[in-house]
Every structure is written in C-alpha cells, then in structure tokens.
C-alpha cells in the first residue's frame, strides 16, 4: 500500500526492557512526526524530522526516548528502560513538506505499547 506503515502493531514488554518501534513513511514525504496517544487523550508531539535538517526533539518526555531517521525514509523510535507510564499508542505520520497548506499529516495505525 501507499500509506504510512508502522510495526509492530502491538508490543507487550516488561518494565525495564528496551523497545524499538518502526515507521515507514509515504514514499517521497520529507517530513516525519512521532506522536504518543494515551487512552482517551489527544496526540502528544514527540519528535519531528524534516529532510536532512536536525530533528526537533522538543517533545521527547525524557532521555530514555530517542529516534532516528535513516536515509530520509524509515524511522525508529527507541524507548530505553521502559516504564509503565510509557504504555500508550505511538503514532507516526508523514507529510509531503511538513509546512503550510496542502501538506496534511498522513498517519499510520500506530503501535500499541503495553509495559507490564
């Protein structure tokens, strides 16, 4: 398909373990975003990649969270030493330019992370 793809769709991990979440954006989209959505909540911005520029990491909640985007395409969000409060749905989105009109975000279906 041509949409944003995320894997795994579900992840259950034990407290203290590290996890990696993957996002394949729409081909050709230069902007990629990660959001976190807790139950019944809105979308919490985590990090933003735009082309080859340095990422905007201002939303990362702690230094346990990090993300990479390799070759301007696939992105990986890594959470180290997971805590129960990290349990949420992690959504990835991409947009053609990330700027302005006619460049909306296209979301994947998310990874539901459960930390036990």
Partner 1 sequence: GESVGLHLPTLSVQEGDNSIINCAYSNSASDYFIWYKQESGKGPQFIIDIRSNMDKRQGQRVTVLLNKTVKHLSLQIAATQPGDSAVYFCAEITINQFYFGTGTSLTVIP
Binding site for partner 1 (CB under 8 A): 4, 31, 33, 35, 40-43, 45, 48, 50, 56, 91, 93, 98-102, 104-110
Q: How far is the CB of 108 from partner 1 (least distance, A)?
A: 5
Q: 16 vs 109, which CB is nearer to partner 1?
A: 109
Q: Is 72 exposed, middle or buried (0-12, 13-18, 19+ CB in 10 A)?
A: middle
Q: 91 vs 115, which CB is nearer to partner 1?
A: 91
96, 29 Cβ separation under 8 angstroms: yes
Q: How far is the CB of 9 from partner 1 (least distance, A)?
A: 9
Closest CA to 44 of 72, 9, 7, 77: 77
């Amino acid at each position: 398909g041509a949409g944003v793809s995320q894997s795994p769709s579900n992840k259950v991990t034990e407290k203290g373990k590290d996890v990696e979440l993957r996002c394949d954006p729409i081909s050709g989209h230069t902007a990629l975003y990660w959001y976190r959505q807790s139950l019944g909540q809105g979308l919490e911005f985590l990090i933003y990649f735009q082309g080859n520029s340095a990422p905007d990491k201002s939303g990362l909640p702690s230094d346990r969270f990090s993300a990479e985007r390799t070759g301007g395409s696939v992105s990986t969000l890594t959470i180290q030493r997971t805590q129960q409060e990290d349990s949420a749905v992690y959504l990835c989105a991409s947009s053609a330019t990330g700027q302005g009109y006619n460049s909306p975000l296209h979301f994947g279906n998310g990874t539901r992370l459960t930390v036990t």
